[in-house]
A and B are shown apart, each in its own frame.
Chain A
């Protein structure tokens, strides 16, 4: 990073003046926490005792044998409390919010995983919690909406725009501008104005730190490729971060291609978007030729976002990471494949990464190693996937 908050030309702090002081307060508080061993100790304790870290690195033996190429390991973020990597970031920011004297958190959510994680930790820490979620997402992830309410959060369905993740983010920014004094906006991915992309990445980087240690123990070496799905990109940057300086490790982000990158029904930002400024950051965005943000589509509510975190945009620019498109059909096939082959039902988001690994591993040598970041569990997706397959199953 050349300049604080910038990743090459990406990043920055493009928010209304009303929010600038709040963003700068978060930044100052985060700098203090970074330098404070007591904060780090408390966070590690919560990671271990509350979230159940370290998450396992599992050798997928049957999948490896069937695909007949590289050895495949699954980083089991799906086994964390609340069923996804999202809790890593939520625990970090919630501790930060408490230190800042905030008593209320707000958050956006797409698939509902970040909303559930936020509602969960808010309950544990006794914080007031309100979640913004697109109307369409509320419908396709009804179980998570119930979970959040059960945990004591208030869920606001958003009708504006396309009723998906980007509209939930916009609404959370609006609500933050409305009530700053007691409220922290707990941004759920490596996006938004600085310092959020950096801070969320740091909280998620525990994933790659553990992968490195665990693989070193099991195999005595680095992986050849790390594969993760990318919406905003928090689980991917977490899985990549400690390998960025290891040039032999391929870093592969799997974008949601929806019905295909040559159709308008896609959310593959790096593959189909172009440089823009939105939601507080300069990065790549799906947009039309007039700069209007595109109504993106993916079967996965968690990847259904028209932008990508600025650090991913930068890793793409410098060629350090690759961003590949994976369609709905491919992700659903991988969802079923991993369930049958390893007895692990992946989140439909994570299934995008599984799918690309299924394509890549057979082209690699048996002495090579691929790590898939299994960012979340798929129970939440079962009803939607059943419907996708034409089975009339309702929650």
Chain B
């Protein structure tokens, strides 16, 4: 079992995302430790990309600030190495294909594995193009995380058949960012995934409040929150860690509570 699969061993998993280097990698490191303390089961580390086509305005702006602050993949991996001295929480990198490809897929994935990364998410690499990334991830023991969306339809079967770690279920159409309403397609999407094989399903895109998280956690094995946390980091700057810690604790409690009630 991969380290990532173990993230789903302790009830419903809470999976926070942070854009690394916004406003500095020192702050990000403190935020990640705070998330782990607050009960995060898996942490997504966003390596900023200049032109993130799957992101809404909040993560776009954070990526821009992080790049302006001089964030590079190497510095993010140095941070992961520092974190790994004390933290055991599973960590996955989320970035865009060109960041990995430009370095050389093999060199990038090897460096990530050596730093202690457990998986890789590339939102602009769909099933049809995954071979050159996934094969390398497998060689170095990383899970290449598969995504399914409300529009995936019949594609879900083949996507899930190859999936390892967990399946990232995109809650609704559009790009990342907080939404008031989350589409009703999540339940049927998860049912379809589970019909193919028994793999944890984590839902992301648009989730911000404990109520939304609790409702979705009735069907999902995990809840992913990105923009809401990135927004907290944007507002709090260098003082983000305690605020994020409190937020993660509330979200984890909400989905755990939800489970106990059901």
Contacts and interface: CB of A to CB of B under 8 A. Distances in A.
Majority secondary structure of chain A interface residues (helix, strand, loop or mixed) = mixed
A291 B72 CA distance: 10
Nearest to A173: B53
Contacts of A173: 53
Given A12-B129, A17-B126, A178 B98 contact: no
B152 A14 contact: no
A394 to B, nearest CB: 31
B31 interface: no
Given A178-B175, A285-B98, A292-B49, A17 B60 contact: no
A177 B151 CA distance: 10
B5 to A, nearest CB: 21
B98 A291 contact: yes
B59 to A, nearest CB: 11
B170 A18 contact: yes
Contacts of B173: 18, 177-180
Interface in A247-306: 274-280, 285, 287, 289-293
A277 B124 contact: yes
B123 interface: yes
Given A21-B151, A21-B155, A170-B53, A16 B124 contact: yes
A173 B57 CA distance: 14
A174 B175 contact: yes
B228 interface: no
A276 B101 contact: yes
Nearest to A290: B72
A160 interface: yes
A18 B213 CA distance: 21
B99 interface: yes
Interface residues of A, number: 36
Contacts of B64: 161
Given A177-B174, A179-B173, A278-B98, A17 B148 contact: yes
Contacts of A287: 98, 102
Contacts of A19: 151
A166 interface: yes
B73 interface: yes
B186 interface: no
B103 interface: yes
Nearest to B54: A16
A6 to B, nearest CB: 11
Given A177-B173, A177-B175, A20 B128 contact: yes
B233 to A, nearest CB: 19
A22 interface: yes
Contact of B51 (A17, A179, A278): A278
B58 interface: no
B246 to A, nearest CB: 31
Contact of A21 (B67, B72, B152, B170): B152
Contacts of B123: 16-17
B97 A277 contact: yes
Contacts of B57: 160
18 contacts: A12-B128, A13-B129, A15-B124, A16-B123, A17-B126, A17-B147, A18-B150, A18-B170, A21-B151, A21-B153, A21-B155, A160-B57, A170-B52, A174-B54, A180-B151, A291-B102, A292-B67, A293-B98
Interface of A: 12-22, 160-161, 166-167, 170, 173-174, 177-180, 274-280, 285, 287, 289-293
| 9 interchain residue pairs of minimum CB distance | A291-B102, A178-B174, A277-B97, A18-B149, A292-B50, A17-B147, A21-B151, A291-B98, A17-B149
